[in-house]
Structure 1
Amino acid sequence: MAWKSKTRNLQVFDTELSADTVEWCPCTGGEDAGTSRTGRLYLFEFRREGLVRPPLTELQRMDTAAILDMKWCHVPLSGEAVLGMAVASGELQLYSLSKSQEGGRSLRSLSSLEVGAERLALSLDWSTGRMDSSDVRVVCSDSAGCVSVLEPAEGGLTALSHWKAHEFEAWISAFSYWDTQLVYSGGDDCKLKGWDLRAGPSCPTFTSKRHSMGVCSIHSNPHQEHILATGSYDELILLWDERNMRQPLSESPTGGGVWRLKWHPIHQHLLLAACMHNDFHILHCRQALEGSGGPCPIIASYILHNSLAYGADWSRLSLEEPAPCSPPAAEPKESFTESGRHLRIQYESPTASFDTSLEDDAGRYIPEDITAPPTPPSAGLGINSAEEASSQSCLMASCSFYDHMLHVWRWDWAPDEAQQC
Structure 2
Amino acid sequence: MALQCKIQTLQVVDTEYSADAVEWCPVEGWHSILACGTYQLKKPDSSAGESPEGNNEPHVRLGRLYLYYFGEQIFTPLTEIQRLEMAALLDIKWCHVPIAEHPVLGTANAKGAVELSRLTGSEKSCKLEPLCSADLGAECLALSLDWSTGRGQRGCPLQLISSDSKGRLNLLSVDESASLHILEQWKAHDFEAWIAAFDYWNTSIVYSGGDDCKLRGWDIRSSPRAPIFTSERHSMGVCSIQSHPLREDLLATGSYDEHVMLWDTRNMKQPLADTHVQGGVWRLKWHPTQEHLLLAACMHNGFKILNCQGCMVENKEECTVLSSYILHNSLAYGADWSRLSLSNPLELSAVMPVVPMEQEARRVDLKAQNLKIVYESPTATFDVVLEEEDQTPGLPIQAESSFDLLGPRTDEKGSETKAHSETDLVKVKKETSLLATCSFYDNVLHVWKWEASQTATLS
Fold-level match, TM-score > 0.5?
yes
Query: Displacement of 1:345 after TM fit?
Result: 3.8
Contact 1:13 1:355 in 2 (8 A): no
Say if 1:289 and 1:408 are closer, same or farther in 2 by CA, change over 3 A: same
Say if 1:162 and 1:418 are closer, same or farther in 2 by CA, change over 3 A: farther
Question: What secondary structure, in the 3-state scheme, does the structure 2 residue paired with 1:57 have?
Answer: strand
- The structure in which a higher percent of residues are helix is 2
Structure 1 unmatched ranges of 5 or more: 323-335, 348-353, 360-365, 382-388
Contact 1:122 1:170 in 2 (8 A): yes
Alignment partner of 1:167 is 2:190: yes
Which residues in structure 2 correspond to 1:378-417 (within 5 Å)? 379-380=393-394, 390-417=429-456
CA distance in 1, matches of 2:376, 2:441: 22
Larger Rg: 2
CA distance in 2, matches of 1:417, 1:232: 38
Alignment partner of 1:219 is 2:226: no
Alignment partner of 1:47 is 2:47: no
Q: Identify which of 380, 384, 388 aligns with 1:374.
A: 388
Query: Displacement of 1:136 after TM fit?
Result: 1.4
Which residues in structure 2 correspond to 1:33-182 (within 5 Å)? 33-35=36-38, 36=40, 37-49=61-73, 51=74, 53-99=75-121, 104-134=125-155, 135-153=157-175, 154=177, 156-182=179-205
Question: What secondary structure, in the 3-state scheme, does the structure 2 residue paired with 1:17 have?
Answer: coil
Which residues in structure 2 correspond to 1:263-274 (within 5 Å)? 263-274=286-297
Counterpart in the other structure of 1:189: 212
CA distance in 2, matches of 1:74, 1:317: 15
Query: What letter is aligned with 1:253?
Result: H
Q: Over residues 332-375 of structure 1, what are the superposed CA-to-partner deviations in whole Å (9 max), with x where a residue is unaligned?
A: xxxx963566956478xxxxxx799999xxxxxx8xxxx86424
Contact 1:231 1:237 in 2 (8 A): yes
Contact 2:100 2:178 in 1 (8 A): no
Query: What letter is aligned with 2:4?
Result: K
CA distance in 1, matches of 2:389, 2:3: 9
CA distance in 2, matches of 1:390, 1:411: 14
Counterpart in the other structure of 2:424: none
Q: Identify which of 354, 359, 366 aligns with 1:338.
A: 366
Q: Identify which of 231, 234, 237 aligns with 2:254.
A: 231
Say if 1:175 and 1:377 are closer, same or farther in 2 by CA, change over 3 A: farther
Aligned residues: 380
Query: Displacement of 1:133 after TM fit?
Result: 1.9
Query: What letter is aligned with 1:76?
Result: P
Query: What letter is aligned with 1:14?
Result: D
Which residues in structure 2 correspond to 1:198-217 (within 5 Å)? 198-217=221-240
Contact 1:39 1:63 in 2 (8 A): yes
CA distance in 2, matches of 1:159, 1:372: 47
Question: What secondary structure, in the 3-state scheme, does the structure 1 residue paired with 2:181 have?
Answer: strand
Contact 1:18 1:401 in 2 (8 A): yes
CA distance in 2, matches of 1:155, 1:295: 43
CA distance in 2, matches of 1:393, 1:405: 23
Query: Displacement of 1:379 after TM fit?
Result: 3.0
Q: Over residues 4-42 of structure 1, what are the superposed CA-to-partner deviations in whole Å (9 max), with x where a residue is unaligned?
A: 111110000000011100000011131011113211000
Question: What secondary structure, in the 3-state scheme, does the structure 1 residue paired with 2:119 have?
Answer: strand
Say if 1:355 and 1:73 are closer, same or farther in 2 by CA, change over 3 A: farther
CA distance in 2, matches of 1:374, 1:256: 21
Counterpart in the other structure of 2:55: none
Higher RCO structure (Cα 8 Å, ≥6 apart): 1
Counterpart in the other structure of 2:22: 22
Question: What secondary structure, in the 3-state scheme, does the structure 1 residue paired with 2:456 have?
Answer: coil
TM norm structure 1: 0.85
Which residues in structure 2 correspond to 1:253-332 (within 5 Å)? 253-320=276-343
Between the aligned residues of both structures, percent identity stands at 52
Query: Displacement of 1:202 after TM fit?
Result: 1.4
Contact 2:201 2:248 in 1 (8 A): yes
Structure 1, 127-136 or 161-170: larger mean CA deviation: 127-136
Contact 1:300 1:375 in 2 (8 A): no
Counterpart in the other structure of 2:425: none
TM norm structure 2: 0.78
Say if 1:343 and 1:301 are closer, same or farther in 2 by CA, change over 3 A: closer
Query: What letter is aligned with 1:227?
Result: L
Query: Displacement of 1:175 after TM fit?
Result: 0.1
Question: What secondary structure, in the 3-state scheme, does the structure 1 residue paired with 2:19 have?
Answer: coil
